[in-house]
Structure 1
């Protein structure tokens, strides 16, 4: 099960990376077209939607690789047992927060879907296309946090350096 979650996180991270690449292409194209006096109606809005998906879509992979920003002023001086307990607490907090975000974010996205809400821009895309990214990506983040908690509980953590698991 851990490998499935890790694979899903890696896939989401890959899609996030390509999303950022597409954002750069879209905005570069938009700048070029504005220079020619013929701006697009789609580049800004689609790049914003891709940005939301890419940003939250990469969070689970960053957690798996332990590449989130970490402040270690206090934790570097903890004993291995205390460090393990602290890590498990943080991962449990991420799971709980993810659950709250999935619950409320799903309601917001569903409400927009049910009401047919759109962005109100010239492109007028359905609002739920962006909104569903929050519960979807936080669900994956919560699952990855659970997977990491299992790893920490079973194997401990390396207190000398951030953990990086690549299989």
Structure 2
């Protein structure tokens, strides 16, 4: 069982803080998105629509999704099917949790590496968006890299917690059942 009185290791605390930072940044981006859309709706209602608001709102939605991906992992908010795992004894649950988190970690590393390659390519060739704002593509694609790093760190944190606390960590970490 996870002991709530026992303080987490310093490494876990650092990983949690970084995940919290990503969550706070995603929340700020959400507020910026809401402000941008509200601003555009008001101006459209007055008959003077903006040229940039739709483009910026798309960029903010992408940033919100990728910057918040690590924070979502940190609260076990991603989709996970556990009915077979839940039927197993604790030792088998640990093995299944380590397997699933290791696969998730490998995917996150591969995704982040691919995103970094894309950003490097766009930087090297100085690609810009083909829209009115002409935003450098490396800046937009950089959100994928940041999100990938945050997802890697959150998955690593979960893996460390499973090693430290066993299957009890994943048993209590669920964000709720849907029936």
The alignment's TM-score, normalised by the length of structure 2, stands at 0.84
The separation in 2 between residues aligned to 1:162 and 1:119, in whole angstroms, is 44
Q: Residue deviations 1:73-116, cap 9 Å, x none? A: 22221211111111111111111111111111111111111211
Structure-2 change in CA distance of 1:67 and 1:162 (3 Å): farther
Moved more, 137-146 or 153-162: 153-162
Structure 2 unpaired stretches of 5+? 1-10, 175-179
2:26 equivalent among 16, 25, 28:
16
Q: Partner of 1:67 in structure 2?
A: 77
Partners in 1 of 2:58 and 2:33 — Cα distance? 8
1:95 aligns to what?
105
Deviates more, 1:22-31 or 1:153-162: 153-162
Alignment of 1:1-167 (within 5 A): 1-158=11-168, 161-163=171-173
- Give the length in aligned residue pairs: 164
| CA RMSD across the alignment | 1.7
TM-aligned CA deviation for residue 160 of structure 1: 8.6
Residue 159 of structure 1, CA deviation = 7.5
TM-superposed CA distance for 1:12, in Å, is 0.6
Deviation, structure 1 residue 162: 3.9
The offset of 1:157, in angstroms, is 2.6
Q: Which runs of 5+ in 1 are unaligned?
A: none
